[in-house]
Amino acid sequence: MRKLLALLLAAALTLSLGAALAQENWEIVVVPKDASNPWFVRMKVGVDEYAKETGLNLYQKGTPEIDATLQAQLVQDLIAQGVDAICVVPVNPESLEPVLKQAMDAGIVVIAHEGASLTNVNYDIEAFSNSGYGAFIMDNLAEAMGGEGLYTTMVAHVTNASHNEWADGGVARQKEAYPNMTLLEAEPRVESEDNGDVAYNKAKELFKKYPDLKGIMGTSSYDAPGIARAIEELGLQGKVFTSGTGMPAANKAILDSGIVKSLTLWDPALAGKAMAALAVKVLKGEEITAPVDLGVEGYTALTFKAGSDKVLEGQGWVVITKDNVDSFGF
Amino acid sequence: MRQWLRRLTRRNEPYIFLVLLALCLLIEVRSGQFFTANNLVDIASAMVVPGLFALGIYMVIVSGGIDVSFPALASLTSYATTKYLLDAGYTGGIWLPMAMSLVMGAALGAVNGVFIGFFGLPAMIVTLGTSSVFKGLMQGALNSVQLAVIPEGMRQFGTDALFVATNPVSGLSSRMPVSFLIFAAVVLLVFFLMRYTYFGRGIYAMGGNEVSAHRAGFHTRRTKFFLYVIVGMIASAAGLIRTCMMQQNHPTNMLGMEMNIIAGVVLGGTAITGGAGSVTGCMLGTLLIVIVENSMILIGIPTVWKSVFVGALIVIGTGVSAMQVVRANRLAANRNLTQEAAKA
């Protein structure tokens, strides 16, 4: 009985403490997949910057390693602390659902990123729609190719949903905006198996069989670097081109040497800011109707994903060239 | 001459060679690009790493064992070497990294060797286990991430060319990597080892029948132990060469290669039950797999049908090999019968 009383008292205390704090100085916590991955270190840069700009009690807290169980524990701890909003990048969306439900039940605002399948959240922010990102890669490839010539697309596997949606989006964009470009009908989509060496060998084969091929649109982050290696070795620099997803630091060499003019990516720092901004909007009780303007670059006209009232998609892609490759820190 | 021909038709290699030739002609007809200098160099360069792995696994299979841990072993040693030398700011040539990899490869191979050779545990189970341990060490203890930059000496080694083959028509050029020399040297070494040394004959004898081999005076335990040490060293060399050629280290990128490599070796006529097989056959089988994997687009097989084609080729190829073995056994049995009959 005394135990129960103590527990109730403790609960009441935390609640009142939470309520007292919860006027303007909301406590907003960003929980990444882990704390040491350069991707999330970059996210922390954005979060800290946003905290400074807005004066919010906003900070990022991650587990030492990527582990769904540790992440769930961390979220539970934050619920117990009575924070006002949790912005989370789930390691494993399914296993996090029950914990997020606890958070929602406790009246905490939950914003997710890269967790479009989650149901126990207020909103989930995706950096972009898959077709929009594909169109963006195509714009970069078309610019390198001078808007003309034969091209094809490369995905990790033809069964990979997002890569194929990107590739479809790219092809659709070409059809609508670049009439002088043509898709290689004989091999419209090749596989890199998420392996730089396979991407390299496939590219070599393509260039041998189709001498007119002028560009390859990569999707997986191994595609463009592998294709670039083939371009360099075959002596095709300046004649054929590639663009696609790529990490800045890993691809500094091929960007600097000019084999690849531009790569595409989304910036985790901006995603961190966007989550925090949306959390503030929800805490303020503002109505969230599309298009949502979060005042963060690339997240100024978020729209709901078709058929969803939780998943918001932005235009949060960035282009990496040799001029800005050093500015990301990952 | 006739006897020589008859002996040849009983062997497996000529059939594989014919299949290989047919495949090359098919690619040539479909693309007109197979017998070009640059394509042949591409194939040779793509052969280096799978070829090295195949030589190691060939020896193991002949001994009656199996090794599925070599991709994990190669990943671990090449990652550890690259990471350590990067952190140390190493600027020298390829020799130190190669020596480090070989030492580590030997040590990890010795782990397999102790369990399989001295404790007599089943090779499949042991190497499945160590494969998992090697992966775990790489991901846990070494916290593996993709290394985008490798030491300059290694990069140099990976991009240095023995010669460059240029296609006069398309203008495409391909580099013959220096590492091809290492591959050629290991082929000769393994050939010599398996054919002319006591150690090599012991491997064949063990694969035929381990108890008989032991009674005949072979040190089966010691032979097995050193066999896995050597295989570890070959695999680690392959891993390092792969890293150098890619100019990057993707820690997980070799995992899963074991299946096609083993298929290539068996395709080349190495009996999966042990005791039989030749370096020539092993190389032909691996070459077949490498060519198939790197010519799907040249042949014009749609991407979605690729796996079906590769799989069918493996089944047909190993089927031919297996039939040869059955035929050879039947012939031997018949011969024994006639001999018995003659005696009686």
The CATH number assigned to the domain holding B230 equals 1.10.3470
Of A209, A229, A253, the CB nearest to B297: A209
Backbone torsions φ then ψ of B182, nearest 5 degrees: -60, -45
Residues 81-120 (B) with a CB less than 8 A from some CB of A: none
The count of structural domains within chain B is 1
B6 in a structural domain: no
Among the partner residues A200, A201, A235, nearest to B171 by beta-carbon distance: A235
- Residues A166 and A178: their CA atoms lie apart, in Å, by 17
* Residue B104 belongs to some domain of the structure: yes
Neighbouring C-beta atoms of residue B181, cutoff 10 Å = 12
- A261 and A286 share a domain? no
Q: Where are the beta strands (DSSP E) in chain B?
A: 161-166, 173-177
Chain A contact for B38, CB < 8 A?
yes
Compute the Cα dihedral for B60, B65, B68, B73 and give only its sign: negative
Is residue A329 in a domain? Answer: no
Measured between alpha carbons, how far is A74 from B132 in angstroms, rounded to an integer? 29
Residue B9 lies in a domain: no
Q: In this structure, are A142 and A119 located in the same domain? A: no
Residue A64 belongs to a domain: yes
- Interface contact flag, B296 A205, Cβ < 8 Å: yes
Mean pLDDT of B239-264: 90
Q: Do B247 and A250 touch (CB under 8 A)?
A: no
Q: What is the CA radius of gyration of chain B?
A: 21
Buried b (16+ CB within 10 A) or exposed e, B106-145: bebbbbbbbbbbeeeeebeebbebbbebbbebbbeeeebb
How far is the CA of B29 from the CAs of A212, B51, B288, B304, in angstroms? 19, 26, 17, 22
Q: Tell me whether residue B332 is in a domain.
A: yes
- The arithmetic mean of pLDDT across residues B93-110, rounded, is 96
Residue A50 lies in domain:
2-128+267-315
What's the CATH code of the domain at A239? Answer: 3.40.50.2300
B299 reaches A (C-beta below 8 A): no
Q: Are B278 and B209 in contact (CB under 8 A)?
A: no
pLDDT grade, residue B4 (50/70/90)?
A: confident
**Interface residue ranges in chain A relative to chain B, Cβ cutoff 8 Å:** 158, 186-187, 189-191, 195-197, 200-202, 204-209, 211, 222, 225, 229, 233-236, 247, 249-253
Share of chain B above pLDDT 90, in %: 61
Residue A196: its chain B contacts at CB < 8 A? Answer: 246, 248, 250, 253
- Tell me, yes or no, whether A240 and A281 share the same domain: no
Q: What is the mean pLDDT of each run of 10 residues along chain A (330 residues)?
A: 60 51 76 85 92 93 87 95 94 91 95 90 93 95 95 91 91 96 93 89 93 94 91 91 90 90 92 94 90 91 90 92 87
Q: Indicate whether A136 and A261 sit together in one domain.
A: yes
- Residue A323 located in a structural domain: no
Measured between beta carbons, the chain A residues lying within 8 angstroms of B253 are 195-197
Its domain, for residue B269, covers 14-343
Q: Domain for residue A200, yes or no?
A: yes
Cα atoms found within 13 Å of the Cα of residue A25, Cβ hemisphere only: 6
Q: Indicate yes or no: CB of A250 within 8 angstroms of CB of B146.
A: yes
Cα A195 from chain centre: 21
Domain contains A122: yes
Number of folded domains in chain A?
A: 2
Instruction: Taking residues B258-285, report their average pLDDT.
Output: 91
For residue B8, being part of any structural domain is answered with no
Alpha helices in chain A (DSSP H): 2-21, 38-54, 68-81, 93-105, 130-145, 161-177, 196-209, 223-234, 252-256, 268-283
pLDDT at A142: 96
Query: Are residues A230 and A139 part of one domain?
Result: yes
pLDDT value of position A21: 44
Q: To the nearest whole angstrom, how far is the Cα of B177 from the nearest Cα of chain A?
A: 11
pLDDT of residue A22: 43
- Same domain membership, residue A277 and residue A223: no
Chain B residue numbers touching A235 (CB-CB < 8 A):
166, 171-173
Look at residue B4 and tell me if it is in a domain.
no
Interchain contact, B242 vs A197, CB within 8 Å: yes
**One-letter amino acid of A168:** D
b/e map of A133-152 (b: 16 or more CB within 10 Å)?
A: bbbbbbbbbbebbeeebbbb
CB B138, CB B77: distance < 8 Å: no
For residue A296, the Cα-to-chain-centroid distance in whole angstroms is 14
Q: How far apart are CA A189 and CA A54, in angstroms?
A: 46
CB contacts of A233 in chain B (<8 Å) are: 173-175
Is pTM beyond 0.90? Reply is no
Is residue A57 domain-shared with residue A136, that is, in the same domain?
Answer: no
Q: Of A168, A217, A241, A157, which Cα lies nearest the Cα of A192?
A: A157
Long-range contacts of B288-291 (CB under 8 A, 24+ apart): B288/B16, B288/B19, B288/B20, B288/B23, B288/B264, B288/B313, B288/B317, B289/B50, B289/B260, B289/B261, B289/B263, B289/B264, B289/B314, B290/B43, B290/B46, B290/B47, B290/B50, B290/B51, B290/B264, B291/B20, B291/B23, B291/B24, B291/B27, B291/B43
Check whether residue A27 and residue A110 sit in a common domain: yes
Give the pLDDT score at A7.
60
Question: Which pLDDT score, from 0 to 100, does residue B168 have?
Answer: 86
Of A4-18, A83-97, B126-140, B275-289, the poorest mean pLDDT is in: A4-18
